[in-house]
Structure 1
Amino acid sequence: MAKRIKDPGIGLSSDEQAKRFINSDGSFNIKHVNRRTSISRSYNYLISITWTQFFGWVLLGYVLINSFFAIIYTLIGISAIAEPTGSLFRDFLKAFFFSAQTVTTVGYGAMAPTGVIFGVISSFEALIGLLSFSFITGLLYGRFSKPKSSIRFSDIMVVREHKGVDCIMFRLMSRSTNVMIRPKVEMTLALSQKSKDKKYINNFYNLKLERNEITYLPTTWTVVHPINESSPLNEFRREDLSRLHGEILILVTYYDESFAQELHQVHSYILSNLKLDEAFVPAFHYDEDGFTILDHDKIGKTKNYKSDS
Structure 2
Amino acid sequence: MLNKDGTFNIRKQNVSFYERINIFHSLVSMSWIRFFTVLVFGYLTINIVFASLYTMIGTENLTNIRGTNALDQFIEAFFFSAQTITTLGYGQIAPLNLPANIVAATESLLGLLLFALATGLMYGRFSKPYASIKYSSHALIAPYQEINGFMFRIVNPKRNQLMEVEVTVTLSLKRDGTELRDFHLLELERSKVVFFPAMWTVVHPITDLSPIYGTTEKEILEKGAEFIVMIKAFDESFSQTVYSKSSYTSKEIKWGEKFIYLPKHSGTEVTIDLSKINDTYKAALS
Calculate the TM-score normalised by the size of structure 2: 0.91
Which amino acid in the other structure matches residue 5 of structure 2? D
Work out the CA distance in 2 between the residues paired with 1:104 and 1:294. Answer: 49
Q: Deviations over 1:52-85 (max 9, x none)?
A: 1111111111001000011111222222233342
Q: 2:276: which partner in 1?
A: 298
Say whether 1:125 aligns with 2:92: no
Contact 1:82–1:94 (8 Å) recurs in 2 = no
Contact 2:143–2:283 (8 Å) recurs in 1 = no
Which ranges of structure 1 fall in alignment gaps of 5 or more residues?
1-20
Q: Deviations over 1:9-39 (max 9, x none)?
A: xxxxxxxxxxxx1111111222234234379
RMSD (CA atoms)? 2.1
Moved more, 89-98 or 141-150: 141-150
Work out the CA distance in 1 between the residues paired with 2:170 and 2:158. Answer: 27
Moved more, 92-101 or 204-213: 204-213
Contact 1:242–1:273 (8 Å) recurs in 2 = no
- Find the partner of 1:174 among 156, 159, 165: 156
Over the matched positions of the two proteins, sequence identity in percent amounts to: 33
- Find the partner of 2:9 among 24, 29, 34: 29
Q: 1:230: which partner in 2?
A: 209
Q: Deviations over 1:283-308 (max 9, x none)?
A: 44245x64322333223x2222239x
Instruction: Count how many residue pairs are aligned between Structure 1 and Structure 2.
Output: 282
Q: 1:199: which partner in 2?
A: 178
Q: 2:134: which partner in 1?
A: 152
Contact 2:143–2:258 (8 Å) recurs in 1 = no
Which amino acid in the other structure matches residue 131 of structure 1? L
Q: Deviations over 1:64-115 (max 9, x none)?
A: 1000011111222222233342222211111110000000001112222222
Say whether 1:68 aligns with 2:45: no
The Cα shift of 1:141 comes to 1.6
The Cα shift of 1:207 comes to 1.2
Which amino acid in the other structure matches residue 107 of structure 2? E
Work out the CA distance in 1 between the residues paired with 2:274 and 2:30. Answer: 24
Which ranges of structure 2 fall in alignment gaps of 5 or more residues?
none
* Equivalent position SS for 2:228: strand
Work out the CA distance in 2 between the residues paired with 1:294 and 1:109. Answer: 60
Work out the CA distance in 1 between the residues paired with 2:162 and 2:130. Answer: 13
Say whether 1:210 aligns with 2:192: no
Q: 2:240: which partner in 1?
A: 261
Work out the CA distance in 2 between the residues paired with 1:231 and 1:39. Answer: 39
Work out the CA distance in 2 between the residues paired with 1:265 and 1:202. Answer: 23
Calculate the TM-score normalised by the size of structure 1: 0.85
Which amino acid in the other structure matches residue 302 of structure 1? D
Which amino acid in the other structure matches residue 116 of structure 2? S
Larger RCO, structure (CA 8 Å, separation 6 or more): 1
